[in-house]
Every structure is written in C-alpha cells, then in structure tokens.
Chains A and B, each alone.
Chain A
Amino acid sequence: MINPDLCDLTISVLHNKIKNREIKFSDIIFSVIKRVKSEDQKINGYISIFEEDAINQAVDLDKTIKNFEQLKPLSGIPIAVKDNICVKDKLTTCGSKILANFISPYDATAVAKLKVAGAIIIGKTNLDEFAMGSSTETSYFGPTSNPIDNRYVPGGSSGGSAAVVKYSGAIGALGSDTGGSVRHPAAFCGVAGLKPTYGRVSRYGLVAFASSLDCVGALGKTAEDTAIIFNAIAGYDEMDATTINTPVKNISVDSNAIKKYTIGIPKEVFAEGLDGRIAKVIEDTINNLRKRCRNVKEVSLPNTKYAVATYYLICMAEASSNLARYDGVKYGLRVSSSELKDLYAQTRDEGFNTEVKRRILIGTYGLSKGYYDEYYGTAQKVRNLIKQDFDQAFKDCDVIITPTTPVLPFKLGEQISDPLAMYLGDIFTTPANLAGITAISVPAPLTIDNFPVGIQITGPALGEEQILNTAKAIEEINE
C-alpha cells in the first residue's frame, strides 16, 4: 500500500506524529501547499492563500516548540477559513464584488481562538456570495468544483471549505451554517461538517447574513476532526451577546456511547421528494446501526415540511436588513454618482449578484407595511412550531437521523436558473437552524452509481457530544 501524503491524514493522526517527533510542522505545511498547487486551479476552492505566512509560522514552530508533551491539539495544523469570516489584515470578500477589496481590521473570535489553539490559517475559501446559495456557483470569484468529479457542484454555501478539505488542501476548515451551509457541502463532497448549537460559537467577525440563524461551523475529514476544531472555537464571548454563557466541555469522541442512546427516525423523512438512491443508502446505514444501538424508534416532526418556506422568509428578511450597510459610503465598492441616492442604488446594483438581489427584494417585500404579519410574522410563528416538534421528539430520543440532502450533487449550471429548486434542497438542514439546535453531516456509503451521500445526525441544544459520538459510530460502520 502506498503511504498517504501528510495532507491526507486527520488532525489527530498528524498531532500524534508531531508529538512523537516523526514529522516536523513544516512537513505538514509543505505537503498541504503542494496539494493546493496541484489541485486548486481546477477546483477553485480558495479565494486567497497565505503561503508565505503559513510556511513562516510552521518554520517558527519547528524552531521554538520544545515541549512536545504539552502540544495543543491544533498546533501547526493548517486550517482554511470561509471568506465571510474575518482574518486580521487579510481580504474578507464574502465572494462579492462589493467587498472584493475589503481588508479585515480584526480577527473573528473563532479565528482568534483557532490561533490561540495553535492552528495555522492557510487561506480563505470560496462561497456563494454572502453565503446565499447551495452550490458555490454565485461567487464573484467564479464557481468551485466538486473534487470528486469536477463537473459537479460542491454544494454550498461553504463549498470552498468542503472542497479544500476533500482534496486535502487544508486539514480542516471553518464554514458558516445559516440554513445548512456547512452540512450541505459536506454531504456533496464526502466530508464531515458540524453545525454547532446557535450561540455556542461566537458570531463576532462572521459577516452577518441572517443573524438569528447564522452559526460558525467546522469541516474535517472525520467527525473527530470537527470535534477538535469545535473544542477550540466554542464558548462565551462578550463581543456576541447571543453566545451561551455556560461552561464548554472538551469533547472526546466515543462511538461506544451510542449503546446507551435512543436514535429517532422521523417518519416524515422518506416521503416524496427524496431521491430513492439516497433513501436506500440511509435505510441500509440505519439497519447497520441497529447492531450497535438497539434503541431505534420512529419519531414525528410534522411541521418540518414547512421549514423551507419558513426559513427563507426569515433569512431573506434578516438579510435585507443586514445587507443595507453595503451602500458605497464607508467601505467596499463605490460607483461614483453626482447624487447620493444614485450612488447607493448603482453601487448595490453593480456590487451584488442576482441571488443576493433576489433575497434582498423578497426580504424587503416581506417586511414592508401590509405584508409584515402575513409573511415575516407568520414565519416566526411556524418557526416556533418546528422548534416544539424537536422539543417533543427529544423527549423520546437522544439523536435524530435523516439524510442531509434530498438530492444528489448536480452538475455545474444545472440548477442556477431555478432558485426555488435550489431552495428545496435545504429541506433537511434548515430545521436545525430554525430550532437553534446542533447537527452534523458525515459521509454515508456511496450510492449504487457512486454519488456521495450525507447522513445527518441532529441533537438537542448543546447536544454536540451525542451527535459526534453517533457520527463516529456511523463512520466506523461504513469503514
């Protein structure tokens, strides 16, 4: 068997190799950069790469680290950051023309915590503009391709992060998940993607899209890798009043814990709209899981069928408000005009792509006089029903298993002109954001025709440990 390159290894394996002095920190960086240079031209996963900084940091670590017993879990590990999360003195473009030249003056809290944990930020990854999309095709910097087959989309909106983890252009990555944007591309690219409980990771420095739903999440080759990143970035932050002020337990993933769990399968999942090939893979995985966990039972989430309509009404309303700040006055793109009102309109017309405009328009419509109660107010009530469904279900089970997406990866350009079809692909991921709970996607076995499938494990608020344990058990079954 050919030895894998260092960049193909997981965080924990690399950590142990460093700890045992088998490799140097710089060996990892050189391996990752070599892979980026050979792959990223065709994948377009990165918007910017910090090659020189990363090499310097690794070389410094080689010189300065003496105590290898006390090594931090992420010491010297190259992590990519989605380009809507601020990294000090680096571009933060959000994949948009309107911020194409914006340099962030500060680190997002999640990035600052990664740096404290020893990680090396290797670059900023591509995304759907302002994280609005499920295919990573709407970036001003061009679409990202799926590393499994370049003709297909990588999912989205954190498609760059998922793609670079898949082709080993980073060992792990940060993404953002407003309606599935970590889990969806994780499913399409065959990697693991964790969306934490809302408020468990600070949003400070994450460019706001829909503030009541946005989460910073982690992508990695395995569930355990996402847990290591999550351990580093979780916690209260005085810069974000919505962070949860309770102690964070360091999670050590243990697949044997699932013996004690009750696994819930929503009866509504295997309904019309789910690709039969995905259904088969998920059913087979659940049947295999029964060998390790005897308590598998049916639960009901009757209102999740309204999740897409509810989610999009809320996120578009919040987006229309959050994106009002991009007006060409203080920073970002400015299209010169002799009149201020034309400066606003022309800057925003030229700076935003069609999908962002579409969402701003629907959001403004839904918040306008006469329509507020009909759309936004109604969606907020249905959001509560969806949360109540989960509250009820988690009285009877510890985790809930569903597919991550109802459809398989599609070809680049295939759905870009049908926004509603694109939105419907978020049916299984949006409920967790609406309820503010945690969920992870890990790879299930390939379909009969070799497409990747994601299996989603959802837990209650602060239930990261149980979903990660279940995810690891599923990974072991599928090995």
Chain B
Amino acid sequence: MLTQIDLEKVAKLAKLGLTLEESSRLTGEIEKIISYFQQIKHLNLYDVTPMTHAVSIVLPLRYDEIRPTKCLVEYLSYKKFNYIFVPAVLE
C-alpha cells in the first residue's frame, strides 16, 4: 500500500517538487498502477536469468586520439565567465 508520505519521499529522491494536490492525486493513481504490476510477482522465476538488454554489448575500444569537437561550455545555457552558474551550494 503506497501512502502519500511514501510518495512524497520518492518525489524527494527523484528531485521532483509536487504540490499537495498533485501528490494526493498521484498517490491514488500510482497505487492502482503498482497493484496491476503485482501480477508478475507471483510467477516462478527461480531459474530465470534477468535480461538487461536485447543485444550482447561489447564495449568497443578506439585509438586514444584527439578528435575536433566544440567545448561543452559553448552549449551551456546558464553560464558566467564560461562556468556553470548556480545558487550557492555551501552556506
């Protein structure tokens, strides 16, 4: 059973600010959806390997060479003197 307090805790983890009205409404909706998901919990999956991906991924190597690219800072929307500008982190 998902409570509104649980949902607000999850929202904090997900860094989502929710209004009281939103968290109240979403709690009911999400509880209904999670109840539907419960159907797969009753399957016998003892010997089944989890499938994380549809293809076997081989991480390829390439030569460690410099390729021309733009500096990421050029794409930043919020910058001052070529640094990301955010509110003070430390008080």
Contact = CB atoms under 8 A, between A and B. Distances in A.
A380 B32 contact: no
Given A306-B40, A312-B33, A379-B40, 18 more contacts: A242-B53, A309-B40, A313-B37, A330-B77, A331-B78, A338-B87, A343-B87, A348-B17, A378-B43, A380-B51, A381-B45, A381-B48, A381-B49, A382-B40, A382-B43, A383-B51, A387-B51, A420-B36
A327 interface: yes
A345 B15 contact: yes
Nearest to A243: B55
A358 B26 contact: yes
A461 B54 CA distance: 9
B59 A365 contact: no
Interface in A349-383: 349, 352, 354, 357-358, 360-362, 364-365, 368, 374-375, 377-383
A329 interface: yes
A241 B53 CA distance: 12
B73 to A, nearest CB: 10
A380 B52 CA distance: 6
Interface string A289-319: 0000000000000000010111011000000
Interface in A237-257: 238, 241-242, 244
B50 A380 contact: yes
B33 A381 contact: no
A436 interface: yes
Contact of A309 (B6, B37, B54): B37
A349 B18 contact: yes
Contacts of A379: 40
Interface of A: 105, 198-199, 212-213, 238, 241-242, 244, 306, 308-310, 312-313, 320, 324, 327-332, 334, 337-346, 348-349, 352, 354, 357-358, 360-362, 364-365, 368, 374-375, 377-385, 387, 419-420, 423, 434-437, 461
Contacts of A340: 86-89
B84 interface: yes
Contacts of B37: 309, 312-313, 375
B29 A360 contact: no
Contacts of A364: 10, 13-14
Nearest to A305: B39
Q: B36, B45, B70, B77 — which one has the most chain A CB atoms within 10 A of its CB?
A: B77
B81 interface: no
Contacts of A348: 14-17
Nearest to A341: B15
Contacts of A310: 40
Interface in B37-91: 37, 39-41, 43, 45, 48-55, 57-60, 62, 70, 75-78, 84, 86-89
B40 A362 contact: no
B15 A357 contact: no
A368 B36 CA distance: 19
A327 B77 CA distance: 12
A236 to B, nearest CB: 10
Contacts of B7: 361
Contacts of A354: 22, 26
A337 B85 CA distance: 12
A366 to B, nearest CB: 8
A309 B39 contact: yes
Nearest to A338: B87
Given A306-B43, A340-B86, A340-B87, A435 B16 contact: no
Given A309-B39, A381-B48, A385-B48, A368 B13 contact: yes
Given A244-B55, A337-B87, A377-B50, A357 B18 contact: yes
Question: A-B pairs with the 4 shortest C-beta distances?
Answer: A436-B54, A345-B17, A380-B50, A349-B17
Nearest to A357: B16
Contacts of A329: 78, 84, 86
B30 A358 contact: yes
Given A238-B60, A343-B87, A348-B16, A435 B52 contact: no
Q: A241, A306, A378, A437 — which one has the most chain B CB atoms within 10 A of its CB?
A: A378
B51 to A, nearest CB: 4
A378 B40 contact: yes
A17 B60 CA distance: 44
A425 to B, nearest CB: 14
B87 to A, nearest CB: 5
Nearest to A102: B77
A414 to B, nearest CB: 17
A377 B58 CA distance: 22
Contacts of B18: 349, 357
A213 B52 CA distance: 10
Contacts of B5: none
B86 A343 contact: yes
8 contacts: A238-B62, A331-B78, A334-B78, A342-B17, A348-B14, A357-B16, A358-B26, A381-B43
B41 A362 contact: no
A346 B17 CA distance: 6
A238 to B, nearest CB: 7
Contacts of B26: 354, 357-358, 361
Contact of A320 (B14, B32, B51, B84): B14
